[in-house]
Structure 1
Amino acid sequence: MFGQLLGDLALVSACFALELGEIANQNLLKIYDRWPPQKRYYLIEPGGKDFEQFPARMEVEFIQRKIGNRLMVVQQIKGLNIGDPLTDNSRRADGYRFHDVFHLSYAAHLGWSPVIRALLKLKRKSEPQLDENEDGARAIILEEGIATWIFNHAKGNDRKLYADVPPGRLDYSLLKQIRSMVDGLMVANCPLWQWENAILDGFRVFRELYHHKGGIVIVDLKRHKLIFNPPVPSTEII
């Protein structure tokens, strides 16, 4: 049986001028990209000056407020507002107002987030090529698009915001599509398992923020993880 299958494989390979050795090698690369025996984080070359780098550790507070009939989320670092207040931007309340935690997770696990760079004024102006191509408007829009697309995927077909998805089981086609979307950027070199870690960790903390109506997110870029702390009781929490 095995011999017959191997013969059929060789015949099909010959029909398409493919070499079995190359096919086997590509399959191994695919496996290591998705399920490596040992996970070593790929570190993107940061570039730029020291003062243009992500902090090794950040504490970001997500504060939910009700303004009129709308729920809004304000983010603060050391009491200072970061960016604009966010709503769900949808007729159906779905918690998307907390979605900036996804960008924080990309920063922690991938060392990449043009959105967070823009919010923290960390665009690498000292290197014009990086500033324009890696930190510019196109990269920011792309990251926002990826975050929104993944969020919609996580909501659909009873996926429960990936609550039941263990590491190694996130939709493979989703990960491949993300890689194709970031083609040409430095982050395209990150393995798929690293993207999966960023996505699942981001959704883990997103679910906590949504449940607790806010909270404090510690972003540890050295250890590549997010830590969630519930919000301090406040009259602002709705």
Structure 2
Amino acid sequence: MSAPYNFSKNEKLPKSFVVHFKEKKNESVRITVDDIQIGDVIDDNSYEKDFYRYHDVFHYTFATLLDWSPCTRAMLKRKRKSIPIIDAYEDGARATITEEAISLILFNEAKRTNYFKEKKVSKAILKIIKQMTEPFEVRTKTEREWEYAILKGYQLFSKLVENRGGKIRFDAYNRETVFMP
């Protein structure tokens, strides 16, 4: 829906950015971009210490590889407010909740599948994601594109857990992500 519009730079997802995930002593994570804190300090919000505190890596990966992440838009203050219908439908609460729900579904599936170590996302999960995102601009992405973004996000997630934080360069120009401990 938003393709024919020419948004200003401050309403576009950044094409290249570095996110620093810094784990604190209390097992929470502070996330910064250009030394500016993005969102709240996150913990696992669970009885189980499962490192969900690093889940925002999925949002940034979706923004970079799928050109879609209402969560990233909100965190980076890049919502498309100049066109109220785009702001409401593509960048609003329903889209944000949908992306968070996808992240949670994937996280629960990942825990059951050893964090996608087999480099495969079930067809059932991919079909659910496609159904969930049908109302949004990301509906044009294929199951294969989704699977690639999911697996890349989990590679990065594993690196963050292993190193208890780190920096990641997200580069939409080259469709790549680079972990920097």
TM range (shorter): over 0.9
Structure 1 residue runs of 5 or longer lacking an equivalent are: 1-43, 231-238
One-letter amino acid of the counterpart of residue 22, structure 2: I
Task: Indicate the residue corresponding to 1:53 in structure 2.
Answer: 12
Alpha-carbon distance, 1:208 to partner: 0.2
Counterpart check, 1:65 vs 2:19: no
Q: How many residues align?
A: 179
Alpha-carbon distance between aligned partners in 2 of 1:45 and 1:143, rounded to the nearest angstrom: 20
TM superposition shift of 1:51:
2.3
> Partner residue of 1:139?
95
2-side partners of 1:219 and 1:83: how far apart? Answer: 18
> For residues 185 and 122 of structure 1, what CA distance do their matches in structure 2 show?
17
Q: Which runs of 5+ in 2 are unaligned?
A: none
Q: Select 1:161's aligned residue among 107, 115, 118.
A: 115
The corresponding residue for 1:87 is 43
Query: 1:100-156 deviations in whole A, cap 9, x for unaligned?
Result: 000011001110000000011100001111100000011111100100111101101
Cα RMSD over matched residues?
A: 1.2
Q: TM-score, normalised by structure 1?
A: 0.73
Runs (4+) of structure 1 moved beyond 2 Å? 44-51
Equivalent residue for 1:96, pick from 48, 52, 65: 52
Structure 2 counterpart of 1:45, one-letter code: A
Greater shift, 217-226 or 126-135, is seen at 217-226
Change (3 A) 1:223 1:46: farther
Counterpart position of 1:126: 82
How far 1:46 sits from its partner (Å)? 7.7
Which residue does 2:162 correspond to in 1?
A: 211
Quick one: structure 1 residues 137 and 46, their matched pair in 2 at CA, closer, same or farther if it must change by over 3 Å? Answer: farther
Residue identity (%): 38
Q: Which has the higher contact order (CA 8 A, sep 6+)?
A: 2
- Alpha-carbon contact 1:46-1:53 (below 8 Å) kept: no
Contact 1:209 1:215 in 2 (8 A): yes
Paired with 1:209 and 1:45, the residues of 2 have a C-alpha distance of 33
Tell me the secondary structure at the aligned position of residue 17 of structure 2. strand
Residue deviations 1:47-96 (CA, integer Å, cap 9, x gap): 432321111100000000023xxx10000111111110000011000010
**Equivalent residue of 1:170, what SS?**
coil
**Higher Cα Rg, which structure:** 1
1:114 and 1:155 map into 2 onto residues whose CA distance is 24
Q: Distance in 2 between matches of 1:131 and 1:64?
A: 32
